[in-house]
Amino acid sequence: MTLRLGDIAPDFTAVTTEGEINFHEYLGENWGILFSHPADYTPVCTTELGTVAKLKSEFDKRNVKVLALSVDGLADHEGWIKDINETQATQVNFPLIADKDRKISQLYDMIHPNASENFTVRSVFVIGDDRKIKLIITYPASTGRNFDELLRVIDSLQLTADYSVATPANWKQGEDVVIAPSIKNEDISSKFPKGHKVIKPYLRSTPQPNI
């Protein structure tokens, strides 16, 4: 199935390192991040899971539930998590799906046969509190993800869900944002009382409205 932005994230029930999880129940009213790993006991994945564990408080702050997936079984996951905790000096603090039959990988199109016949690529799905897919990024197995970038995108997604703004290139939390083209000039002052700049008629900026 081809998944696109705006689609409802398909629901599933999975065996995980924290017991059976129904995805939509797990998300509840929160945002979510679902991300896949090519295989257990692999070096890049080991660093990725350790990094996400260390960022747990950042995901919590943003009301984002984390769920990882790898196509190995539960016994492998449990042994591997011990290694991750040891080598990355952390405790894995989120569930890891054991997708041995590749049902969820296929549901989310995480296996790209021309990259690898059997293993998932590094897919990332960010899901909104409306259960719709807000972001899809796919990395190759050889490149570990930048999870600071994912936090940055989540900040942008959560901001732009609530305000008629967009975030410019390389934007970071606290920087000026762009006023949505749908906002008429005469409505800007009431909607953005912190002030604004008109750089071009189509390029108008304002301080970040939610801080």
Between 65 and 122, name the residue whose CB sits nearer to ligand BEZ: 122
- C-beta of 44: minimal distance to ligand BEZ in Å? 3
Q: Which amino acid, one-letter code, is at 4?
A: R
Between 3 and 39, name the residue whose CB sits nearer to ligand BEZ: 39
Between 13 and 51, name the residue whose CB sits nearer to ligand BEZ: 51
3-state per-residue secondary structure call for 73-119: CHHHHHHHHHHHHHHHCCCCCCCEEECCCCHHHHHCCCCCCCCCCCC
Catalytic residue among 21, 33, 34, 45: 45
User: What residues from 120 to 179 belong to the interface with ligand BEZ (CB under 6 A)?
Assistant: 141-142
Answer yes or no whether residue 44 interacts with ligand BEZ by CB under 6 A.
Answer: yes
Between 70 and 167, name the residue whose CB sits nearer to ligand BEZ: 70
Tell which residue, 183, 200, 181, has the closest CA to residue 191. 183
* Angle at the Cα of 162 from the Cα atoms of 156 and 163, rounded to 5 degrees: 85
Answer yes or no whether residue 114 interacts with ligand BEZ by CB under 6 A.
Answer: no
CA atoms within 13 A on the CB side of 32: 25
45 is catalytic: yes
Per the CB < 8 A criterion, the answer to whether 40 and 83 are in contact is no
Count of residues near ligand BEZ by CB under 6 A: 8
Q: What are phi and psi of 17, to 5 degrees?
A: -70, -10
Answer yes or no whether residue 43 interacts with ligand BEZ by CB under 6 A.
Answer: yes
- C-beta of 173: minimal distance to ligand BEZ in Å? 29
42, 51, 93, 205: which one binds ligand BEZ (CB under 6 A): 42
Residue with tokens 């912190």: 194
Structure tokens at 1: 């199935």
- C-beta of 111: minimal distance to ligand BEZ in Å? 13
- C-beta of 50: minimal distance to ligand BEZ in Å? 12
Q: What are phi and psi of 128, to 5 degrees?
A: -80, 175
- C-beta of 57: minimal distance to ligand BEZ in Å? 25
Answer yes or no whether residue 38 interacts with ligand BEZ by CB under 6 A.
Answer: yes
Gap between the Cα atoms of 57 and 1, Å rounded: 33
Task: Tell me the catalytic residues.
Answer: 45
Question: Which residues contact ligand BEZ by CB under 6 A?
Answer: 38-39, 42-45, 141-142
